[in-house]
Amino acid sequence: MTHPDAGQQDHGGLVRVLRDHIAGGADGLVQAARLLAEVAHEGQVDKAGQPYTGHPERVAGHVKDIGGQVEAVTAAWLHDTVEDTWVTPGFLAEAGFPHSVISAVDAVTKRTGEPTQDYVARITADPLAVMVKRADLADNTDPRRLGVLDPTVRARLTRKYQTFTAALDAAVRGNQSPPSTMDSAATI
């Protein structure tokens, strides 16, 4: 895909390109999200040293496979942009992404120092965010991804994601009390 050079910080040009895609309807909305994820995460790598854009692509594919509608797939593509890049909710709005997508992306964005209970509560208040976060956790716990990591890192991440998944499951069921193994001040 050709896109404005993010290194030049041509966000105005990028906004125009994204708006043009979004104006194209459902397919354009997903294309715009993919484009923005590719631009925003350019040069980033995951814990295994692979291009980071593979992660949002897999998360979006999982959301689509489980029946997620266009806005859920769009949010999946964008789920780490606000947390890990220069993208802000305001930029997403300026580019023309729907409020429901921006809300879901904001809900799954971790905040520094935020207690896990607060993070989980924000996610569970938004059904799109729940779907995206579950797909995110599925990708983060995929044995193929974890298997290439150092055993110590793999064990730490496995515990982290199991604990968070248990907290999310409990909150979705309406039990706002996380499992006793969870540090309520920790961030995931």
State pLDDT tens for residues 50-104: 999 999 999 999 999 999 999 999 999 999 999 999 999 999 999 999 999 999 9
- Do residues 68 and 56 touch, judged by C-beta distance below 8 A? no
Question: Does residue 35 surpass a pLDDT of 50?
Answer: yes
Counting Cβ atoms within 10 Å, is residue 23 exposed (0-12), middle (13-18) or buried (19+)? exposed
pTM of the model: 0.85
- CATH number listed for the domain at residues 6-172: 1.10.3210.10
pLDDT value, residue 11: 84
Indicate the pLDDT class of residue 7, thresholds 50, 70 and 90.
very low
